[in-house]
Amino acid sequence: MHDTTIALIELGAVLFGLSLLGQASWRLGISPIPLYLIGGLMFGHGGLLPLQGIESFTGIAAEIGVILLLLLLGLEYSAQELVTGLRRSWAGGLVDLLLNATPGAIVALLLGWGPIGMLTMAGVTYISSSGIIAKVLGDPGRLGNRETPVVLSILVFEDLTMAVYLPVLTALLAGLSLIGGITAVGVALFAVTVVLVVALRYGSIVSALIDSRHPEAFLLRLLGAALLVAGIAAELEVSAAVGAFLLGIAISGSTAENATRVLAPLRDLFASVFFVVFGLNTDPSEIPAVLWAALALAAVTTVTKMLTGWYAAGRAGIGRAGRVRTGAALVARGEFSIVIAGLAVASGAVVPQLAPLATTYVLSMAVIGPLAARFVEPAAQWWLRRTSPAPQPTAGPTEQRPEGGAARSTNP
């Protein structure tokens, strides 16, 4: 058959298979990311049935997937929300960075992967999955909980950290000198500052430039601007993903809402291709060698995210059950971890074993995260009932019950 015919057949089969995997994940109540990665492992290098005819499409599609993921993440926040979130969550954010970046760096050090491998794995284990957490918080009764603003503030801090981290990582992966790396960081910080100032003072003008009353023109203008900004950012040695994220921040109001609605299907399409491509480029035969490290990281970083949530929610005056829910909501890792690992693996500057380790780790955490959010709270409530002192009867209408008692609200 002609090469184009083979590519069309393989691409059609991949997309149809992704739909089945997505449907299965919804029925199981988990993120589809683990299933997409498994699908890629099955049909990639060393898989059951390697696909050879779709590389030309999947390469650029995966890049677009990263750009759209970060663009829509930026659209979720206004510049004012980012600034407010940073002020509110800086202490919890620093604890989050220290507790969750360190395990990844230590494992890379023990495996002898060098400074770039350490920096890459630190980012993989640090960043929570905004997509999975958004789904967890969207469950009935969660958005109104007292701890939800704390969770969102931690995510904002992580996103701002990524705006500095990604340019540093990109510079090191490109083999730039110390001066070049410092320049890249300076450009990134300058870009973030400019975008925040422009978004705070002239956000309506930026939104007006992007907006259009015609849906087709609006989609083309929005997607064109995202790719243009991402390309310019990449040329300046600032990650294309960061460029897309900053553009999303600069768009606000009804334009941001319409952009999210219009781009969501495209994001889902290209992002799913991105996860599959990462799996395609990972050899399943290399997973057993790093399985112990991935499972150890999963266990340790589940605990460290729980500690992060406990500390951050405690600073906000939230009760013990709410602190447990905060930590459980932050456990999941997903799209951003794979983005970081994908950038490193594509550069060729890290050892090949990093890809299977990151894949196995994200597979584990993308499953553990939603399960923790669902089942940790009932276990915590049971523990609180057993460990809290029995309420002392008092006379009059001012009777008080201890935290965790039967009369307490379900959203402490």
Quick check: 276 pLDDT over 50?
yes
Q: How far is CA 79 from the centre of its chain?
A: 19
Matching residue, tokens 């939230």 = 318
Least confidently predicted of 95-109, 238-252, 315-329: 238-252
Question: 213-223 burial by CB neighbour count: b if 16+ within 10 A, else e?
Answer: eeeeebbebbb
- Name the one residue in this structure whose structure tokens are 């979720």: 76
**Which residues have a Cβ under 8 Å from the Cβ of 297 and sit 6 or more positions away?**
103, 104, 107, 125, 361
Rounded average pLDDT over 4-25:
82
Q: How far apart are CA 111 and CA 398, in angstroms?
A: 60
What contacts 15, CB < 8 A, 6 or more positions away? Answer: none
Could you tell me the CA-to-CA distances from 197 to 26, 190, 203, 237, 288 in Å, in that order?
40, 11, 9, 22, 48
Residue 326 and residue 111: Cα distance in Å, rounded?
Answer: 32
Closest CA to 11 of 270, 329, 190, 345: 270
pLDDT band per the 50, 70, 90 thresholds, residue 44: low
Across 75-85, b (16+ Cβ under 10 Å) vs e yields bbbbbeebbeb
Query: Are 169 and 124 spatial neighbours (Cβ–Cβ below 8 Å)?
Result: no
Taking alpha carbons only, the member of 159, 149, 151, 155 closest to residue 195 is 159
User: Which has the minimum average pLDDT: 273-277, 321-325, 376-380?
Assistant: 376-380
Q: What is the pLDDT of residue 410?
A: 36
Residue 367 carries which side chain, given as an amino acid letter?
V
| Mean confidence (pLDDT) of the chain | 79
Higher pLDDT among residues 240 and 220, named by residue:
220
Query: If you count DSSP H runs as helices and E runs as strands, how many of each does the chain have, helices first?
Result: 15, 0
CB 156 within 8 A of CB 82: yes
Range 328-341 average pLDDT: 86
**What percentage of the chain carries pLDDT values higher than 70?**
77
Most confident among 11-25, 29-43, 368-382 (mean pLDDT): 11-25
Closest CA to 18 of 26, 259, 246: 26
Name the architecture of domain 56-138+147-385.
Answer: Up-down Bundle (1.20)
pLDDT in tens, 171-222: 788 776 666 667 766 776 777 677 667 777 777 788 888 888 888 999 999 9
